[in-house]
Amino acid sequence: MLNELGIHIQYSFDIQHSALSIVAMSQQRPSRVGEQIREDLTELLARSVHDPGIGFITITRVEMTSDLQNARVYYTTLGDAQARKDTGRALERAKPFLRRQIGQRLRLRRIPELQFFFDENIERLDRVERILQDLQAERTEREAAGTGDEKPPDDERDDKR
């Protein structure tokens, strides 16, 4: 009976380990395919797409669905809101060509549908960075003026509690 129990425990561990491996592999493949699509799109946009609407564009990331049927392509571009719209329209015009080229480069059963989205995160990070730089500039100006309104850092205070 002890041997049967030992075998059963080992067997269930292998099933759990295999299930964990399958889950980990299923999460890795979409990210690997997404990264390959990002690299291929970057190269195609730089060398093969000659649409004047596509200005200076950066593909920031590609998120794949787990079944590899859809690719959400996030991009940034230089310029104002009008340039962003022009780039979006140009990407939509180039989508069939890009999808065909991706299909030739990747060995997938089905070519994923490409969906393009402007990456707002980069713009938000840039805004936060500008705010932090402005705050640092104000702090430097106050220190240079010697107003003395600042509190010393916590480790320099002589608080006795």
Specify the pLDDT at position 24. Answer: 54
Rounded to the nearest 10°, the torsion over CA 151, 155, 160, 161 is: 100
Q: How far apart are CA 54 and CA 124, in angstroms?
A: 22
Instruction: Tell whether 107 is covered by a domain.
Output: yes
Tens digit of pLDDT for each residue in 21-74?
A: 555 555 799 999 999 999 999 999 999 999 888 888 999 999 999 999 999 999
Is 161 part of a structural domain of the chain? no
pLDDT on residue 160: 53
Containing structural domain, residue 133: 31-143
The count of domains in the chain is 1
Indicate whether 19 belongs to any domain: no
CATH number at residue 130: 3.30.300.20
Distance CA 75, CA 149 (A): 44
Q: Which residues contact 53 (CB under 8 A, 6 or more apart)?
A: 86, 87, 89, 90, 93
**pTM across the whole model:** 0.65
> What average pLDDT score do residues 124-142 get?
90
Instruction: Say if 60 falls within a structural domain.
Output: yes
2 within domain boundaries? no
What's the confidence (pLDDT) of residue 45? 94
Residue 108 within any structural domain of the chain: yes
Report yes or no on 26 lying in a domain: no
- The region of weakest confidence among 19-28, 91-100, 101-110 is 19-28
**Contact in structure between 113 and 101 (CB atoms under 8 Å):** no
Q: What pLDDT does 125 receive? A: 83
* pLDDT digit string, tens, across residues 21-32: 555 555 799 999
Which has the closest alpha carbon to 60: 121, 132, 14, 111?
121
